[in-house]
Structure 1
Amino acid sequence: MGDPRPGPVPTLRRRVAARLRGLADRPRVAALITRLAPGSVRTRTTAAACAAVAAVLLIASAAVVLLLHANLERGVEAGSREQAQVVARLAAEDRLPDPIPLDHGADFAQVTDASGRVVAASQNLAGRPALTPDGTSDGHDTFDLGALGDEHHQRVTTVTTDTPGGPVTVRVGASLHTADTAEDLTTAALGVLSAVLVATVGVVTWRATGRALRPVEAIRSEVAGIGDRDLDRRVPEPAGDDEIGRLANTMNGMLDRLESAGVRQRRFIADASHELRSPLAVLRTQLEVAHTHPDPAVRAEMVAGALQDTDRLQSLAADLLLLARLDATGHDGPREDVDLAELVRAGAKGGARQRIPVTLDLADRPVATGNPLWLGRLLTNLLDNARRHAEHRVTVRLAFDAAAGQAVLDVTDDGPGIAPADREKVFERFTRLDDARSRDDGGTGLGLSIARDIAALHGGTLAVRDVPDGTTFRLRLPALAEAREAPGAPDPAR
């Protein structure tokens, strides 16, 4: 039986794997791995910068090497051609020495006649047969120069001339060893310099990108730690008016809005709970009294009161549902052209309170685009609010502002005015002012809030205006004008 224990290699492999897992679990190492991940902006930016610089350096280095190569070979070829012309001139004058002396830079020289016999040659080719081409390279003939005893990279120049003994061919070879060495050194230097430059660009880009993204990471960490219970926290805003500073400012603005929305939601829930608790308690008391009281007249009175409170609860629930729909969707129902003058007439004739006359002053008949049911609810809320607080009369004026392209609707009552400090509070949900404008006479405290929300959804505004005696709510809605005067004089509706 073999030994069942694991051998040393698997044990070592498991130890190394466990060690690597332990390193990966450390926060700093994990953060470094995250930063080095290909998906990180820092890594991609550094890689892109290095790739761009490397491509530019590669093209520039190749251009430099090619120009250097061309210049060096041009110089070597010019020297070999000059040597070949000197030898050809001596041969033409029948003064060709043997062996042929070589100038600096020339490796060999050989002169052959028309039959291929060697007439003269340099010392290193003495006794050698005539050179014959064995191929071409860069447009030049190549020769087997193994006879020189070493591998040579040379540029061979061939010149033909006439001599007293007949035409001869002069071949002079100039060594490219110096040019090749210079080219190799230049290539190596450019390679090293390019590598250093790419590495420098990578390091600088890595550090600069990390420094630039550090505020972004701080913003991300802070946002990740913000829960629904601590919306009062804010992200750090770096100094300067750059993109990151504007991002932090935008994030803080969003957090401000979220915090405000959360506060409004909690206050709304608390107010709604309070508003529902009182009528439910009264309703329960009335039903308990009606259930136990022996007098049928008292029971009937209690049941009638319970029905009134039930109506109020139903109205409050409907208003809460409408507000929830406005907050959740922002739009609902079909949109069509609505004749605001007809809408005002229909609203003035209806309503639960007919004791206060409504005087209509319809100078124009503007047409607005929107949900007719919601626009009708907006007008009904304004009229109900005016009738609730008016003492003797309610006036409704409708006109078209051609310069602004808006319909202007004023609903005025002659009841107690609203102090300037409270003119925005009346549009808040469940807001109580003084006794003169309380909700004890049947209002739910949501009508004006619903009216303003509907106006905003239709691109309009609703505000309180100063008037000498009473209160005016002015509604502005985008509309188109129909150039038709409303027939007749001001129309009282009761």
Structure 2
Amino acid sequence: MTEAAGADPAPAAGAAPRRTRWSLQSRLMVTVIGMVALILTLVAVATSALLGNILDTNLNARLVSAGSSLRGGPTAADVLDAGRQPQGFLFVMQNSEGLSGAYVDSAEAVVTLSEDQLEELVAQIDHPGTATVEVDGLGRYRVIVDTSPGGNAALVGLPTSEVSSTLGQILTTVALVTTGGLLLLGIAIALVIRASLRPLRSVADTATRVARMPMAEGDVTISERVPDAYTDDRTEIGQVGSALNTLLDHVDESLSARQRNEELMRRFVADASHELRTPLASIRGYSELSLRALQRGATPEVAETTESALERIQTQSLRMTTLVEDLLLLARLDEGQELVFGSVDLTALAVETVADAQVAGPGHRWHLDVEDHPVVVAGDAARLHQVVANLLANARTHTPEGTTVTVSVHRDGHDAVIAVHDDGPGIDEAIKDDLFVRFTRADRSRARKTGGTGLGLSIARAIAEAHGGTITAESEPGDTTFTVRLPARPADPAAATSTPEAPAVEPEAEAVDTAADESAQ
């Protein structure tokens, strides 16, 4: 017989049966209602026991009071006065006349006990005092037996049905009230728990919707959030909702960062392919040209063509080498390698880079602003020179001729600061946020004049961070400043005292400034 559709598969042989777990609401309700029911039951039992003792004491007191009001007579029936004793009152006496007994019935008439009833009653009494006996046809009685030295004895009793009836009514009332109270408590707890767990269900629904979203690839944005009404930090569940929203914010940012990295990687592949394809095509073309020229024979024209082709091949090879070295430098800086630390005089370094920039960009005005004393740091001189050179090249490339570029070096507390300022048109708002990201270019045409691979500023940032420093950019039209901050500490304590005095570089700085002014004029 085939298994019914939708039925759970039978457990494998030898496997333990799967236990059904209760929900949190069910467990809370069962626990609370069970504890309250247990407490109410214990209270009812204790109350019944205490009330039973009180009723027994009152019954004994009534027996003593009723017995003391009796007057003598030959038989028990003569002693009883229906108008003075309560209903059910029992009296048995033994005297010279013999054993006799009587009781007051519900009609307040005195009824004599039969001999069988007397024998059964006497058989249950083995000592004087208080006892509880069973009287045939009358029920259960509480009796007090009193004997005298002359052999006379008297027994008075009252039915215990009143005590039993009172206790039964109390227990019934307690049971009904307890049952009704537990039902109301269950309803109230269900409503409270449902309302209290509503934020948790919202959290679970949000997490479920997010879990169903495809996040493996593509531009993924997580817009699902727990509603603000369920993120109150003053409650435990609200803290869970707030934590989930924070987690989703972080995941959303991570996915956006992943997408940006993928786009950068695709752009990198395109840029690297383009940058390498052009020199490779040139090398191949000039190599074929040289080969054909050599095949035609050694003539002056062939030699001149071959020499020109080899020069072009060398130029393109150097271009490829520069790109590959930049990529390799970034990779090694990411791994914490490539730097060789020593004592670096930033003042002298600024003088050298400004002098080089003045030659490369004679159409710009170059100024140098340094302190009277050298600013010395611990770092890699070649890499720090590359940072400043990249910043100056960036200023020269992306500003028109006649722009004034000022390089300043000074101390700021425990930091050494190198600032490159220009009064050019400023940085395009479209790339300001990604300025130091690899392969970010202001001019995407890759023109030799204004374009490029977009690695210069990213290399500068990587070198600055590898030195424990930072690089920032502030720009608006007519006022752009790149600021490099480095820890101002020498490689060893003696380095600061052995650094050349500032006057040794001041003349060169002044000469560079003057030369730049003359060139601009």
Distance 1:393 1:255, change over 3 A: closer
Structure-2 residue corresponding to 1:432? 441
One-letter amino acid matched to 2:260: R
Alignment of 1:216 onto 2:203: yes
1:382, 1:22 → 2: CA distance?
Answer: 69
- How much has 1:207 moved relative to structure 2? 4.7
- Identity among equivalent positions (%) equals 19
The corresponding residue for 1:348 is 349
What is the aligned length? Answer: 432
Q: For residues 386 and 130 of structure 2, what CA distance do their matches in structure 1 show? A: 104
Q: Within 5 A, what are the aligned runs for 1:233-312?
A: 234-235=223-224, 238=227, 240=229, 242=231, 243=238, 246=242, 249-250=245-246, 253-254=249-250, 256-292=252-288, 293=290, 294=293, 295=303, 296-312=306-322
C-alpha displacement at 1:309, in angstroms?
2.2
* In structure 1, C-alpha distance between the alignment counterparts of 2:126 and 2:442, rounded to whole Å: 113
CA distance in 2, matches of 1:89, 1:434: 124
1:279-330 superposed Cα distances (whole Å, 9 cap, x missing partner):
211222232134221344134313312331232231243256368x58xxxx
Which of the two has higher C-alpha Rg?
2
In structure 2, what is the equivalent of residue 411 of structure 1? 419
Q: Which secondary structure state, in structure 1, belongs to the residue aligned with residue 482 of structure 2?
A: strand
What do you get for the CA RMSD once the two structures are aligned? Answer: 5.4
Please say if 1:197 is aligned against 2:172: no
2:319 and 2:56 map into 1 onto residues whose CA distance is 114
1:51 aligns with 2:31: yes
Q: Any conservation in 1 of the 2:423–2:479 contact (CA below 8 Å)?
A: yes
Q: 2 CA distance for matches of 1:150 and 1:438? A: 123
From 103, 118, 122, the counterpart of 1:126? 118
Q: Which of the numbers 2, 5, 21 marks the counterpart of 2:7? A: 21
Corresponding position of 1:86: 65
TM-superposition CA deviations, 1:377-424 (whole Å, max 9, x none) = 9845531323424679863534244xxxx6352322558463474654
Amino acid in the other structure paired with 2:62: Q
Measure the CA separation in 2 of the matches of 1:112 and 1:385.
Answer: 132
Residue of 468, 475, 488 corresponding to 2:501: 488
Aligned 8 A contact 1:157 1:171 in 2 = yes
Task: Give per-residue Cα distances to partners, 1:339-393, cap 9 Å, x unaligned.
Answer: 9xx456499399999724987549798999xxx78xx898455313234246798
Selected match of 1:474 from 477, 480, 483? 483
- Whether the 8 Å CA contact 1:359–1:394 is kept in 2: the answer is yes
Structure-2 separation of matches of 1:410 and 1:96: 133
Indicate conservation of the 8 Å contact 2:40/2:178, yes or no.
no
Q: Is the 8 A contact 1:365 1:400 kept in 2?
A: no
Partner SS, residue 280 of structure 1 = helix
Distance in structure 2 (CA, Å) of the matches to 1:377 and 1:118: 134
Q: Deviations over 1:40-91 (max 9, x none)?
A: xxx11332144123312431343144224422x1442243122221244246
Aligned letter for 1:395?
Answer: V
Inter-partner Cα distance in structure 1 for 2:345 and 2:159: 110
**Unpaired segments ≥5 residues, structure 2:** 11-18, 104-111, 232-237, 294-302, 359-367, 397-403, 510-521
Query: 1:183 deviation in Å?
Result: 4.1
Give 1:463's match in structure 2, choosing from 472, 497, 517: 472
Would you say the 8 A contact 2:203–2:241 is kept in 1? no
Separation of aligned partners in 2, 1:141 and 1:439: 124
Q: How does 1:377-416 map to 2 (within 5 A)?
A: 379=384, 382-389=387-394, 395-401=407-413, 407=415, 409-412=417-420, 416=424
Q: What SS does structure 2 have at the residue aligned with 1:410?
A: strand
Matching residue within 318, 324, 328 for 1:314: 324
* TM, length-normalised to structure 1: 0.65
SS at match of 1:126: helix
Deviation at 1:480, TM superposition (A): 9.3
CA offsets per residue over residues 410-448 of structure 1, 9 Å max, x none? 32255846347465453233222269x987589642343
Deviation of 1:267 after TM superposition, in Å, equals 2.5
Work out whether residues 108 and 172 of structure 1, in 8 Å CA contact, stay in contact via their aligned partners in 2.
yes
Once residues 374 and 330 of structure 2 are traced to their aligned partners in structure 1, the CA distance between those partners, rounded to angstroms, is 34
1:85-164 equivalent positions in 2, closer than 5 A:
85-90=64-69, 98-99=76-77, 122=103, 126-127=118-119, 128-129=121-122, 131-132=124-125, 143=132, 145-148=133-136, 152=140, 156=142, 158=144
Check if 1:229 corresponds to 2:218: yes
Contact 1:382/1:473 (<8 A) preserved: no
Distance 1:438 1:360, change over 3 A: farther
Q: Normalization by structure 2: what TM-score?
A: 0.62
Q: Which runs of 5+ in 1 are unaligned?
A: 1-10, 25-35, 135-139, 327-331
Amino acid at match of 1:231: V
Greater alpha carbon shift after TM alignment, 224-233 vs 358-367: 358-367
Answer whether contact 1:360 1:491 (CA < 8 A) is retained.
no
Supply the distance in 2 between the matched residues of 1:121 and 1:251 (Cα, whole angstroms): 90
- The superposition leaves residues 106-144 of structure 1 with CA deviations (integer Å, 9 ceiling, x where unpaired) of 67566789xxx978675665343154479xxxxx9875x
Change (3 A) 1:304 1:159: farther
Could you tell me how far 1:245 is from its partner in structure 2? 6.6
Q: State the distance in 2 between where 1:248 and 1:130 align.
A: 81
CA distance in 1, matches of 2:6, 2:443: 73
Q: Is the 8 A contact 2:426 2:477 kept in 1?
A: no
Contact 1:414 1:471 in 2 (8 A): yes
